Amino acid sequence: MIEHRRPGVTLVMEHIAKMEMLLVSEPMLGSAEKAALSEVIEGGWITMGERVRALETAFAERHGVEDAVAVSSCTAALHLILHALGLGPGDEVLVPSLTFVATANSVLYVGAQPVFVEIEATDWPIMSLADAAAKCSPRTKAVILMHYGGYVANREAWREFAFARNLLIIEDAAHAAGADQAGSIGDASAFSFYGNKNMTTAEGGMIVAKDRSLLESMRQMRGHGLTSGTFQRFSSKSVGYDVTMLGYNYRMDELRAAIGLVQLANLDKWNDRRRQLTSRYMRTLAARCEGVQAPFAEWLKTANHMSSHHIMPVVLPKHVDRRRVIELLKAGGIQTSVHYPAVHELSYYRSRYPDVSLPVTEAYAGRVLTLPLHPKMDDQDVKRVVASLATAVHETRGAEAGKAVEAA
């Protein structure tokens, strides 16, 4: 147990530490998923087959599109989209720096160059339209619009932006499964089913696209460019195939698809619970944590917001030691995370693009802290997190003030 100067604080933290660790995210897995896996194993067909196709159809229906393509990850989805759209050497793609590194990596995979764009503000950490416009050049061919935290970007504004410049829009909807309008803004969209997402297949992802021929091209591309898959050949008793394009091994298997079908059936219920918990967080933070900013708080008061409420980020006050806050919360049985370090400040990207400066993104990334948010939580968990955060921020702020006095 970490020692504290104030006896009262010590007692509170010791009491909380006796509780079970509250995780930032926790997958919802149970008997239905176990039964679905058992059915696949007993059936004997474990690679891409009927369940993968069923998941594609169900996911497309849930998101109001004609069809979808299941793949091995959201990163694979982004790579296939960029490749299928013909992006490559000499092209530039606008990307946020406030994202997981895969967003930028996928651009490099096809030989194009990512151009990092600012966020609008710390209370609206979505890619800035104004900075995106300023970063356009004759080589700019597309923009990857990332729905950070599950909060869907302004559809009409971004469509107008892209149309005026003849740009493709690719949605990085990794956080946004089940959110209204997600997958409906761009030419193609990539979703994630990673273990910490609102619905999971452990690893896995999904592609949706407006153009049917584009979607079918990616369907073939995910399996080495083969004109038929193993299950198709088995079902038709055909042994031959051709390869008509460069492809990859980005297939989803039947085990993951079986889990995905169960998860998808519960997605709306789980997202609604996330919405309720987020609302509780917003109210409690406003009442208990002076100086701690909750991004999207004002936007959520409007009637037209769309979100899957994937994560619960907060922005700590300036001059508060985030590392110390993380340590104090962990000592109290609360896991936190950071979504995200700015991509352009990671060593690899800093070495490639040393002149990139995004002050708003950097300020946000330096102060953001992700609090626990998942459907297994209840209102008392939110109360516990906020109380612990308030204590940790107060303690840390006091320690920093003491250092300042000593330095003076």
Q: Any idea what the CATH number is for the domain that residue 357 is in?
A: 3.90.1150.10
Choosing from 214, 235, 261, the residue where a domain stops is 261
Please say which residue of 261, 296, 317 terminates a domain: 261
Specify whether 119 is located in the same domain as 188: yes
Residue 325 in any domain: the answer is yes
Looking at the domain assignment, is residue 335 inside a domain? yes
Predicted confidence (pLDDT) per residue in 361-381, tens digit: 999 999 999 999 999 999 999
pLDDT bin (cut points 50, 70, 90) of residue 234 is low
Convert the pLDDT of each residue in 105-139 to its tens digit. 999 999 999 999 999 999 999 999 999 999 999 99
- What is the C-alpha to C-alpha distance for residues 176 and 250, in angstroms, rounded to an integer? 21
Examine the residue annotation and report whether 269 is marked as an active-site residue of this protein. no
Give domain status of residue 1, yes or no: no
- Domain check: are 108 and 246 in the same one? yes
CA distance 337 to 149: 13
Q: Same structural domain for residues 363 and 336?
A: yes
Q: Is residue 376 part of a domain?
A: yes
Residue 210 and residue 311: Cα distance in Å, rounded?
28
57 and 194 inside one domain: yes
* Dist CA 128 CA 116 (whole Å): 11
Do 58 and 13 lie in one domain? The reply is: no
278 and 368 share one domain? yes
Number of domains in the chain: 2
C-alpha to C-alpha distance for 401 and 104, rounded to whole angstroms? 39
Q: Which of 205, 229, 261 marks a domain boundary?
A: 261
* Residue 347 clears pLDDT 50, i.e. is over it: yes
Is residue 184 located within the same domain as residue 284? no
200 plus 283 within the same structural domain: no
168-192 pLDDT, tens digit per residue, is 999 999 999 999 999 999 999 999 9
Averaged confidence pLDDT in the chain: 92
- The residue segments making up the domain with residue 125 are 31-261
Residue of 135, 197, 301, 318 marked active site:
197
**pLDDT recorded at residue 304:** 75
